[in-house]
Amino acid sequence: MKKWLMALIVCALFCSCWPAAVRAENAAERKADAAFIRGNDLWIAIGPEEKQLTRGEYIRSPRWSRDGSWLAFSKGKEEKEVWLYHSVTGKMREAGQGHNAQWSPSGNVLAFQSQEDRRTLYVLDADSQQGPRRIADHAGNFSWKPDGSILYSVEARLLPDGKWSDIELYTVRPDKETRSEFFYTIKSQSQDFFAVTTSRFKWSADGKWIAFLAVPTASMSADGNTLCLLSADAGTFLKAGQMLNYEEWFQWGPQGSRLAYIEGYGREATSNKRLTVLTGPPSFLPKSSTPAGYADRDLAWLDDDILIAARSKEAAWSGEPSERPLPSLVLVNLEGGRQPALTRPPRNAGDFFPVLLKEARSLAWIRTDRSKAHVMLAQPDGRRAGQWIRGLMVPEEGYYDHWSWEEVIDYR
């Protein structure tokens, strides 16, 4: 009787522990949330559960607000309309005619540029019923500052004498008097430098530096743009290197002023693209971590000393897709120099756009064969990898084997 009872207790303990082990294994998947595009429509994924939000629309660029209660997205093939979805009530409304929507780092305030002239800057408080409010004109590009104000650039203009005016940077506070204040002037032309506008701006973790791209005219920008660093007090301006006009290709580390970017001239993503790290002021000396014979195609910080790179064998450009290698993910240890493989995608598929989901303690990335794509999810070290979201839309513009995945997915 005692043996039978002991066996029953052991069996009960085993059965109660086994589901807990399964739940623990899938905890990251349940915690991870995303808004994504499938078949041109907007969907959200909350762990393994999916919900379709639009039907028969043309949706792009989903963007979660900081607290995750609002989702902004563009609507229409020309992306002329900015719309809002409230995740609590499920209601949608149009925010305005515009593009380049960005949420404030504090509060549910959305900024975007007008569609008509693409230069007027508006802000909208999503929690109120008031319409958008104009706060600046002539904005080439902009970003929210950590303190809740906005930094924007005014594009250079071609002057009657054939020269270009300089690029000017201004700040404006949407929550106060909407008068812009001058911040810095970028000389648009010199013997080794030419630019007419900027990318968005990114602040270092310690708030002391701003990184951005100085962008020349479209034909020149396709092959090279200048990565620039500007101190937060506007006292020091540095030209760091040449790279393509992909904002996800330069990222500050989680602490201090260490910047990683993918350096290299030429529009082809399959060659001359090197993961490079600039270690903090005052020198910002560059150090490449890409082995000879390889090209890096995406990056993400895992912690202060470890990066993840999407890396493929280097190859000359070919019009035949099968002759263009697709990448896998590798870990790049900046201190020890080790670079082990993190993923091994199937043949004719590649892994792109790694993103560390801190709250879910997971790593997400895109696996694609150029015609279809899925979202993968794993522990940060790559273990327990599995498919999370099937049928993610592949962006139409696969420009020389680069895809703008931020057009079709955003993580909450």
Q: How far apart are CA 118 and CA 185, in angstroms?
A: 21
Contact 351, 343 (CB under 8 A): yes
Q: How far apart are CA 263 and CA 260, in angstroms?
A: 9
Q: How far apart are CA 324 and CA 51, in angstroms?
A: 35
Which strands, in side-by-side order, build the sheet including 362-368?
A: 350-357, 362-368, 373-378, 386-392
- State the virtual CA torsion across 174, 175, 180, 181 in degrees, nearest 10: -130
Q: How far apart are CA 310 and CA 351, in angstroms?
A: 7
Q: Give the per-residue pLDDT at 223.
A: 96
Q: What is the pLDDT of residues 39-57, one digit of tens each?
A: 999 999 999 999 999 999 9
Q: Give the per-residue pLDDT at 77.
A: 86
Q: Out of 77-86, 147-156, 214-223, 226-235, pick the least confident.
A: 77-86
Q: If you search the block for the tokens 């052991």, which residue do you land on? A: 10
- The three-point CA angle 68-74-75 to 5° equals 125
Can you read off the two tokens belonging to residue 143?
A: 């970003």
Q: Give the per-residue pLDDT at 106.
A: 87
User: What is the rounded end-to-end Cα distance, in angstroms, of the chain?
Assistant: 54
Can you read off the two tokens belonging to residue 124?
A: 């909208």
Would you say the pTM of this structure is higher than 0.75?
Answer: yes
Q: What is the pLDDT of residues 343-381, one digit of tens each?
A: 999 999 999 999 999 988 999 999 999 999 999 999 998
Mean pLDDT of 207-221: 96
List, in sequence order, every residue forming a beta bridge with 70; answer none if it has no partner. Answer: 86
Domains and CATH numbers, the chain: 33-198 (2.120.10.30), 246-412 (2.120.10.30)
Residue partners of 402: CB distance under 8 A and separation at least 6: 244, 246, 269, 297
Q: Give the per-residue pLDDT at 73.
A: 98
Residue partners of 348: CB distance under 8 A and separation at least 6: 322, 326, 369
pLDDT class of 15 with cuts at 50, 70, 90 = very low
Q: What is the pLDDT of residues 239-282, one digit of tens each?
A: 999 999 999 999 999 999 999 999 999 999 999 999 999 987 77
Per DSSP, the residues of 10-24 read HHHHHHHHHHHHHHH
Q: Out of 74-78, 153-157, 258-262, pick the least confident.
A: 74-78
Q: Give the per-residue pLDDT at 11.
A: 37
Q: How far apart are CA 192 and CA 221, in angstroms?
A: 15
Nearest by Cα to 175 from 120, 232, 115, 105: 105
Q: How many CB atoms lie within 10 A of CB 159?
A: 9
